[in-house]
A and B are shown apart, each in its own frame.
Chain A
Amino acid sequence: MAKTKVLMTGNEAIAEGAIQGGCRFYAGYPITPQNELIAYMARHLLPAGGVFIQAESELAAINMVFAAAAAGSRAMTSSSSPGISLKQEGISYIAGAELPAVIVNIMRGGPGLGNIWPAQSDYFQATRGGGHGDYRCIVLAPSSVQEAYDLMALAFELADRYRNPAIILGDGMLGQMMEPLSVHSPQPTVHRKKNILPNKKWALTGCKGRKPNIIKSFYMKEGDLEKFNLRLQEKYKIIKQKEQRCDSLFLEDAQVILVAYGTMARIARGAVTKLREDGKKIGLIRPVTLWPFPDKVFKRLAISDKRLAILVIEMSYGQMLDDVRLAVNCQAPVEFLGRSGGGVPSEGEIINKVRKLLRTREPEN
């Protein structure tokens, strides 16, 4: 089928990508800058045969998603940073009950009420679990409207495969901006009604013809919770091995490798292009999965090359930085450039930082 392009905001693309990816339940509470997402769901989920609920709070929304997932539906919620903080208890329960659900965080500045401008300061919250307990969410970070759409189906698939919450981590700029989008069908409404759910034998459907199913995260008998946690850890190990995803540019001859994700990565890519035009050997690593963090790509780098330096760039004061340092394991210097609270490192700032870095490293050449 011929691909048609439409101009869409990131927020709308995420919603449409979710519906195409089989999402049939959405509950959410309005918060800027992700309001286009909830409005899109309100318009389009019902005609697709799904359920839309504007919940009374983020708490109610995430618990409705917990429930819809428990009942076997592909379910999601979305919010922005302060609202995602409110959802953390529910996300912990989803992880603890091993339910597949998708949570979208269109990040804004913090802490507290912060502001509504783009930021990447919820990285720790997303990749370290966020709520109470020893759990991890699969975290995907799109950097364009097209990728935001494409990653939604993957998020639902991974959530189902591992019975684990998956987070889409974007920011206000990605959510608000419009870009051309190739939808997988020229008429997005055509094949939505097709139910593409995998068989979920564990789901709550009523115990007809089988033993009752129980969805819970509560283990009171001595030793049971530890056993359950060990099983979770085994699952996470498999995810870490199998699901690392990243993009890279010019790693072969790079002397400085930029590391950035999401919106920040596209600005960094602009800087790489300009610096390359200028003959500078600059590369880029763009993690697509933030958890599992793509540490394999760092291990493959020619880190023995003494000239190599790594520059992490974030719309935060250094969160992914920790993961890069762990992956690089002191084998190369790791530098950092970051702004937050609505500040976004510009192409110019990145170029200046790289030039400075190249100058200070020249004596070693």
Chain B
Amino acid sequence: MTERIIIAGAGGQGIMLLGKVLSMAAMRKGKFVTWLPSYGAEVRGGTAHCMVVISDQEIGSPYIDKADTLIVMNKPSLTRFQSKIKDKGLVLINSSLIDKYPRGNSRLLPCPFSELAMKLGNIKVANMVALGAFLSQRKIVDLKDIFGVISDIAPEDKRGLIEVNKRALEEGAKYGSR
């Protein structure tokens, strides 16, 4: 098994964290993992992306030419990365912010990540809604593995947010498996 995932969105949408949480959970399951961020000239409000490779074998390139899965949180990210999705690959789209998307050879899964997050009372957990939806499609790790990572890495002053992150993951998973 090798799963190559590109996660992209606006700076501040928790793109890097989504990738890190997934990577950590997979690492704890004994998988080989690489996480490669976009870096440098990125600023808050600009675009951000990371590339995550999860595998049972040693990983060659951490850079992804053709992704098995693309998770896009805003429109510019879709424009930028749609050519990177491999034939019949999975594309998770934040339909709250992306109204039109091309029908290609990929399997599209539009899901209102931002709206679901707002319903939970915190738009910042849209990333966890997306992760929940992704895991409903690709069972690389269980939701409870993600719960474990989140409670381990939450800093002291943010422990109050653990619960809403968990609910976001569940909401996403529920929506994704419909």
Contact = CB atoms under 8 A, between A and B. Distances in A.
The 3 closest A-B pairs by CB, nearest first: A270-B60, A178-B35, A116-B40
B34 A177 contact: yes
Interface residues of B, number: 22
18 contacts: A7-B23, A7-B35, A33-B39, A177-B36, A177-B62, A178-B34, A179-B34, A180-B27, A180-B33, A266-B60, A266-B61, A266-B62, A269-B58, A270-B59, A270-B61, A271-B60, A346-B65, A347-B61
Interface string B32-66: 11111101110000000000000001111111010
Main secondary structure of the interface of A (DSSP, over half): helix
A57 interface: no
Contacts, number: 67
B20 interface: yes
A346 B61 contact: yes
Contacts of A7: 20, 23-24, 27, 33, 35
A267 interface: yes
Contacts of A185: none
B162 to A, nearest CB: 19
Contacts of B60: 266-271, 273, 347
A5 interface: yes
Contacts of B59: 266, 270
A270 B60 CA distance: 5
Given A32-B39, A177-B35, A267-B60, 7 more contacts: A7-B35, A116-B40, A176-B36, A177-B34, A179-B35, A179-B62, A346-B65
Nearest to B61: A267
A116 B20 CA distance: 22
Contacts of A348: 65
Contacts of B23: 7, 178
A173 interface: yes
B65 A173 contact: no
Nearest to B65: A346
A344 interface: yes
Given A269-B58, A270-B60, A346-B61, A173 B36 contact: yes
A176 B58 CA distance: 18
B54 to A, nearest CB: 11
A344 B64 CA distance: 11
Given A7-B23, A269-B60, A347-B61, A116 B33 contact: no
Contacts of A172: 39
Contact of A5 (B27, B63, B65): B27
A96 B8 CA distance: 49
A7 B28 CA distance: 10
Nearest to B60: A270
Nearest to A344: B63
Nearest to B19: A178
Contacts of A269: 58, 60
Contacts of B58: 269
A180 B35 CA distance: 10
A27 to B, nearest CB: 23
B66 to A, nearest CB: 9
Nearest to B36: A177
A344 B39 CA distance: 16
A271 B61 CA distance: 10
A218 B142 CA distance: 65
Interface string B17-31: 000100110011000
Contacts of B28: 5
Contact of B41 (A116, A178, A268): A116
B17 to A, nearest CB: 12
A271 B59 CA distance: 11
B27 to A, nearest CB: 4
Interface in A251-279: 263, 266-271, 273
Interface string A175-192: 011111000000000000
B47 to A, nearest CB: 16
Given A7-B23, A346-B61, A179 B39 contact: no
